[in-house]
Amino acid sequence: QVQLVESGGGLVQAGGSLRLSCAASGSFFSINAMGWYRQASGNQRELVASTTSGGSTIYADSVKGRFTISRDGAANTVYLQMNSLKPEDTSVYFCDADIRAGPGRLYNRYWGQGTQVTVSS
């Protein structure tokens, strides 16, 4: 079974930094895109950043210039470096990955359990 496990969340003051990690484990053939979403209480889950195996990246406008997504393909791990954190960044952050078990066209989407990020004023 495929699992995505996030780590690195915590409590930080405004202006501080955190680095989130997400590692994929289990039996699978390949991973295409990996990314990060966040969902604050009462809100929809929104894309924060994503990256493909080829290195293309996408960022939400609200985090551009502050967050950086990176990926270690050999380790099946994606990172999110979060700098200049703001209280409005407070949320549960979820790892997301498109994974296929074997050669073929379709990928299955997997989610991690989420890691809490709290930014104090």
Return d(Cα 103, Cα 117) in angstroms, integer. 36
Alpha-carbon span 82 to 9, nearest angstrom: 10
Residue recorded with tokens 């924060």: 48
Pick from 44, 42, 81, 45: nearest CA to 63: 81
Per-residue pLDDT of 4-32, as tens digits, reads 999 999 999 999 999 999 999 999 999 99
Backbone angles phi, psi at 18, to 5 degrees: -140, 155
Distance between CA atoms of residues 67 and 81, nearest Å: 5
The pLDDT, as a whole number, for residue 50 is 97
Q: What is the pLDDT of residues 36-50, one digit of tens each?
A: 999 999 999 999 999
- Cα separation of 2 and 83, whole Å? 30
Which pLDDT does position 26 carry in this prediction? Answer: 93
Q: Could you tell me what percent of the chain has a pLDDT over 90? A: 86
pLDDT of residue 106 exceeding 90, the answer is no
CB distance 114 to 80 below 8 Å = no
pLDDT tens per residue, range 50-75: 998 888 999 999 999 999 999 998 89
